[in-house]
Amino acid sequence: MTDERENEAEEGLAMMIDAAKMDRRSFLVRTAAVGGGLALGFRIPFGGPKQSFAVEAGAEVNAWVVIRPDDTVVIRIARSEMGQGTMTGLAQLVAEELECDWARVTTEFPTPGENLARKRVWGDYFTAGSRGIRASQEYVRKGGAAARMMLVQAAADDWKVPVAECSVAKGVITHAPSKRRTTYGQVADAAAKLEAPKDVPLKDPAQWQIVGKPLKRLDTLDKVTGKLVYGADLHLPGMLNAAIKDCPVFGGKVKTYDATKSEAMPGVKRVVRVGDSAIAVVADTWWHAKTALDAVAIEWDGGENATVSSATIAQTLAAGLDAEQAFVHNEAGDVKAAIESAAKKVEAVYSYPYQNHATMEPMNATALYTSDRCEVWCPTQNGEAALAATAEASGLPVAQCDVHKTFLGGGFGRRGFTDYVRQAVAIAKLMPGTPVKLLWSREEDMLHGKYHPVMQARLIGALDAGGNLTGLRIRLSGQSILASARPEGLDKGKDPLTFQGYWPTGEHSLEYTIPNLLIDHAMRNPHVPPGFWRGVNVNQNAIFLECFMDELAEAAGQDALEFRRKLMAAHPKSLALLNAVAEKGGWGKPAAAGVHRGIAHFRAFGSYVAACAEVSVTGGSKVKIHRIVGGTDPGYAVNPAQIDRQVAGSFVYGLSALFMEQCTVKDGRIEQENFNTYDSMRISQMPKVESIIMPSGGFWGGVGEPTIAVAAPAVLNALCRATGKRIRSFPLKNSGFELV
């Protein structure tokens, strides 16, 4: 995305600061814009409305910090926690500036309704694009620093001494000349009554004591003891349960249904139609609801989409590879002339399938509707979008609605959407005063995802007589997520996110200097809804580019690493990381017998990432990934232990997709309905992962998504060396390869 587009997004979010005063329609429209995840930042009304807030067993010093009398520090976290560690990382940033005792830190989630009422003092609630920490780090650090300044000021005022004579460490304030001491808990009430400081300096990173340390996660104990509440765990007094079936053909509807048998089954309260396309059963238990739903005789009307298949979609995309019209995003020189005059031309076509998020916890939401209020409890990546959906589905003003975020049993982009929230509210609206928990079955979750977009690519490279890359042409043909999920985010019809990793500049920049270049996209949008999927478009784009770079190096008769190095002189951070990964991976040194290596690198979500994989193949098809060295330069590393886990976790996700995962379409619907047909890696198949975390400072990059891009191409490049076969369509199971 260009800086101009980013600034426009920031201005749009700044306008939302007064969202509490908006009419419902305006809020819904503007919140939908935030839901696309393109906005990078916004102006925070620092400190929020000036008032003293009474909190249970504690004093709110400011919006981020509540201090209890026993010196417990409650840090408010707006972003969602779905296993990525954002909650702990943001708490570290606040605690660093607060100078509190980390052993006394706990967290809580303020609701998006509270955020609007306080002029969005907690900022953006959207958690995706690896932005949970990097997009909020500055203002949460200022929240911690401001609270520290107010607490110290309160102590100084009580002692009637200059604040400059006071110091603080681990929540204990000391006045050295008089040797007096006090704690945050003892001065919090007084501090809460002070004006927030206007000038809030932040620490130099060289002074960090909490940030940058591999501290234990704050939620681990509650996870292992079962105390942590996910949306599927939630129970409210008098709650009923709902199961739902939507038309399996996207865009289809219910033609007829007969619920006579279901309505007489045990525990059933109601059988209801939800919109034009779904039937739901409400019962005393979820299993009673699910069993009765299966007994409803439903006739679906799939409409014209019922004729669509994977084959017809592939044909549509293949035609796009030769289309005259396409959206250009990165262009330099004269690529046509470079290709025509090339000493050697290399050409390849790659394809990438639909894939499901397959979160362990299926979609769910609990709604309580009355004539004057609607509340929802749900796992969501976008609390404000969920609030907007609640208001729209209930028909109530935003101020009469709220959303209570729970922990997420996986998100990966899927829970940035609000379809399941709307359904829950629609059902609860038919049963006023009764909380209703809607839980999708695994089959419903698989059949009604927002899928990783399907894509094809044709790449043409031009080599001169010396084996130098003089031109590169990349034509993408396939879906646009924004065109489906947030069309107002398109740039004159173009989807910048389609080109992640191929941008001229910015957080997804192409890290090669090529004199003649053309990268464009023939947008082709089948009826299957695409969605933001962990890594989004970097998954296929990294495979397309980094595997093709190996093809070019082979055609030029050059080592794959040296071939890349020649193109990366103007990209020192990427080159430094690639060199570090190659060195630790043993590139250029003999590998064990039968073991072959592959490398890849990329720029994604503001970070520099690279990988070196070691692979062996037995029996011609059984693939063993022995080891992957994965490197990242995210600028700053808030919690290296969490980054290490994110690297390994992203490899699980990316390699499962590479070898096993594909959603196919038949008669307009997804064929894979459960994990028996949509598999993932087992622990025994997981390679040894060695992380290199080398933050170079000066910028804030993402962590959770970038490294997913490089595992697959590194393995594919090693696989080609092991077998002599270059695979260009995925998953690899379709080519007979099995991960062992």
Q: What is the pLDDT of residue 49?
A: 47
Model pLDDT for residues 165-215, shown as the tens digit of each residue: 999 999 999 999 999 999 999 999 999 999 999 999 999 999 999 999 999
Euclidean distance between CA atoms 100 and 77, whole angstroms: 17
Topology annotation, domain 231-303+363-439: Aldehyde Oxidoreductase; domain 4 (3.30.365)
Q: How confident is the model at residue 42 (pLDDT cuts 50, 70, 90)?
A: very low
**What's the DSSP call for residue 307?**
G
Bridge pairing between strands 665-666 and 738-739: unpaired
Q: Taking the CA atoms of the chain, what radius of gyration do you get in angstroms? A: 27
Given CATH 3.30.365.10, say whether it is the number of domain 310-355+451-739: yes
- Mean pLDDT for 627-634 is 98
Query: Percent of the chain beyond pLDDT 70?
Result: 92
Euclidean distance between CA atoms 392 and 241, whole angstroms: 22
Q: What is the pLDDT of residue 623?
A: 98
Nearest residue to 534 (alpha-carbon basis) of 427, 415, 433, 370: 415
Residues 6+ positions from 156 with CB-CB distance below 8 Å? 162, 163, 165, 166, 175
Q: Report residue 633: phi and psi, to 5°.
A: -120, 95
- Mean pLDDT for 102-126 is 95
- Mean pLDDT for 269-278 is 98
Q: What is the token pair recorded at 219?
A: 């939620």
Euclidean distance between CA atoms 718 and 696, whole angstroms: 29
Inter-axis angle of helices 572-585 and 560-567, to 10 degrees? 170
Q: Are 669 and 249 in contact (CB under 8 A)?
A: yes
Residues 6+ positions from 167 with CB-CB distance below 8 Å? 173, 174, 176
> If you search the block for the tokens 């379709």, which residue do you land on?
734
Query: Percent of the chain beyond pLDDT 90?
Result: 92
pLDDT higher than threshold 50 for residue 18: no
Rounded to two decimals, what is the model's pTM? Answer: 0.93
- CA angle (65 as vertex; 61, 70 as ends), nearest 5: 85
> If you search the block for the tokens 């620092």, which residue do you land on?
46
pLDDT higher than threshold 80 for residue 244: yes
Structure-derived torsion over alpha carbons of residues 568, 569, 572, 573, reported in degrees to the nearest 10: 0
- CA angle (170 as vertex; 168, 176 as ends), nearest 5: 30
593: how many CB neighbours lie within 10 A of its CB? 6
pLDDT higher than threshold 50 for residue 7: no
Return the bridge partners of 204, or none.
Answer: none
Q: What is the pLDDT of residue 34?
A: 39
Return the bridge partners of 182, or none.
Answer: 173
Helix (H) or strand (E) holding 712: helix 708-723
pLDDT higher than threshold 50 for residue 11: no
Helix (H) or strand (E) holding 458: strand 455-463
At 57 the three-state DSSP class reads: coil
- Mean pLDDT for 531-548 is 98
Model pLDDT for residues 668-725, shown as the tens digit of each residue: 999 999 999 999 999 999 999 999 999 999 999 999 999 999 999 999 999 999 999 9
pLDDT higher than threshold 90 for residue 29: no
> If you search the block for the tokens 């009764």, which residue do you land on?
434
Q: What is the token pair recorded at 720?
A: 């080609």
Of 706 and 58, the structure prediction assigns the larger pLDDT to 706
Q: How confident is the model at residue 33 (pLDDT cuts 50, 70, 90)?
A: very low
Domain 44-207+217-225 has what CATH class?
A: alpha beta
pLDDT higher than threshold 90 for residue 356: yes
- Mean pLDDT for 254-259 is 98
Model pLDDT for residues 377-436, shown as the tens digit of each residue: 999 999 999 999 999 999 999 999 999 999 999 999 999 999 999 999 999 999 999 999
For 10-24, 90-104, 143-157, which range has the lowest pLDDT when averaged over its residues? 10-24
Q: How confident is the model at residue 31 (pLDDT cuts 50, 70, 90)?
A: low
Q: Please, where in the chain does CATH 3.30.365.10 lie? A: 44-207+217-225, 231-303+363-439, 310-355+451-739
Euclidean distance between CA atoms 740 and 624, whole angstroms: 5
pLDDT higher than threshold 80 for residue 52: no
Euclidean distance between CA atoms 662 and 428, whole angstroms: 35
Across the chain, mean pLDDT equals 93
Whole-Å CA distances, 209 to 42, 168, 171: 28, 14, 14
Model pLDDT for residues 435-466, shown as the tens digit of each residue: 999 999 999 999 999 999 999 999 999 999 99
pLDDT higher than threshold 80 for residue 315: yes
pLDDT higher than threshold 80 for residue 474: yes
